[in-house]
Chain A
Amino acid sequence: MIALLMRDLKLAFRAGGGFGLGLAFFLIVTVLVPFSVGPQSSLLATISPGVLWLGALLACLLSLDRLLALDWEDGSLDLLATAPLPLEAVVTIKALAHWITTGLPLVLAAPVLGVLLNLPQPGFVWLVVSLALGTPALSVIGTFGAALTVGLKRGGLLLSLLVLPLYVPTLIFGAEVARRGAISMETNTPLLMLAGITAGAVALLPFASAAVLRVNLR
């Protein structure tokens, strides 16, 4: 399992792996927001938690179609499926690798971009906490979407259509934590709900992803 994780990480970090692509996308979305809504700092302060969450979500989405597609094309997915490792573990590792290469950098970059969008002072901690808790769910749900569309020639657009509605609960609770944190409100309820969604998704979705992948590899 660890070998597989290291392999995926190495592939992502080396040239052509697309590491940092999500991060650059996140940066560009954040920079574009003031151009579209205007540079008033009070307005930016109000919308910054939501915008940062949406940007992180879209950046996650962007990298999903290469999550399994490259391994599908060169046949290593077939090898992994016949390996003694259960397919459920394989997709969990894939999701973990996706989170380390996409989710984690987003979490770390979010405060810096928060400065650009004039995020209120108490919001920084909650933004990082909510993203750290929520992005694993985004990766796991995204892995399910990638497993569904892996056999398709042009699955990218379909992948967004399938995955975005599934992202709704995570986005609502995650952005709510960040929003409440930014205006110094109590954040316990949405934070616990967000944690619940992440825990549930991490525990159950790998089974669905593996089942779907088996159908696609048939």
Chain B
Amino acid sequence: MSANIRFLLNGLEEVSVSGPADQTVLQWLRLNRRLTGTKEGCAEGDCGACTIAIAHTREDTRQTVREDVLVWAPANACIMLMGQLHGRLLVTVEGVADGQALHPVQSAMVTQHASQCGYCTPGFVMSLFAGFRSAQTGATDAIHDMIAGNLCRCTGYRPIVAAAREALGPLRDDRFSAMAADIAARLRSIEAQGALSSATPDSKFSAPRTRADLASALTRDPSARILAGGTDLGLDVTKRRQRQPSLISINAVRELQQIEKRDGALVIGAAVTYARALTRLAALDASIGVLLRRLGSAQIRALGTMGGNLANASPIGDTPPILMALGASVIVGSVKGEREIALDAFFTGYRRTALETGEFIDRVIIPLPGADDFVRVDKISRRFDQDISAVCGAIAFQRNGERIASPRIAFGGMAATPARARRAEQALDGAPLTQATFEAAAEALAGDFAPIDDFRASAAYRMRAAQNLFRRWFLIATGALLEAAE
């Protein structure tokens, strides 16, 4: 067992710390280590000024593009807690250059005039560095995906995208290329010392390794909060200044990291990050891939988990509508064993779920749609990238000849919880696949939901945009609307 949080910093320096469970990586970097290149811009994971790179050892070497034995990702230091670093490599903007020689990402940023005030720049450097280490290409869409979690108010982005294109071309080495194997070995030796269980007089942070240990830890400490990706819990720390006396991380639990196809369903462990789930879910329908690429940012997707997105029960979570439309259920575990809850019965009220004390989400079961089924999810937000939905709507149905069978429709942003649109479903069920049917469903939707006015959208807009999704879905289902950009 490891009583201290142990990780590598900017190379082979091993750091061992114990501190409050709710200390953020950003606080530690800036205040404890005086590494001030990493900035606070918003303390909510939305601006990217605090972006760091993290790496862990690669288990599945089949996906290796580089010589690399490490998996790299960007992350928001502002909402990441120190315990989440355990067993990982942390790289900050101070650690990417090789002595006086700038990293290719850094020199491209200089030559392209990609910094003005410079405050966001370290974050961009780190997002691009993580992309560089992950052997990302310099394709324009990939670059936008890489930096969608970084805001710049000065440049208008054109020179930053140009710098990314310059730096991310052919695979090149940097100071981590030669070090990767040593880093991986050191990380494994940290792992070999057992699960993290760190305590200070005021707080506890533990990261059990097995499902059984997780269940018993939750039973021993029923007041503990489960930490998954922390992309929501982190806001309680930074925005609401809530103390976190006891946190139990699910990230080290192997069983919760699995993704597999079993019995006609895709089964995704609760601790699987969006980043890992993305390709598997995108395979069900391209629109799910688009949705997930718009969920948060690369930084958020690297930490945020499938289980976390369900457990926080936000009315505007991005994954619940499509999971509901696909008929997903969750398996929840506890010392008493497992039980299955249909996702549309899981959300019991505003930010409330059917989870009982001592229970945790173990995995999500997503029945695979048939080859001929229609599946589609659409997110509508003010900004394309890294925004919270005004409305998110999803639909799945089978085609029974010219008729619609077993429709499932769910919306986020329309009620206090993500919810099925039962009246709209009735309007589709058994009806012919015609414009009139979808118009009737759109009309029926008005009876399903009474959305609210708020800063994301008015009730009227929400309803109209949601009703228009039926029009869009009809066009897509009949092949009349090609979504490809022209």
- A and B bound? no
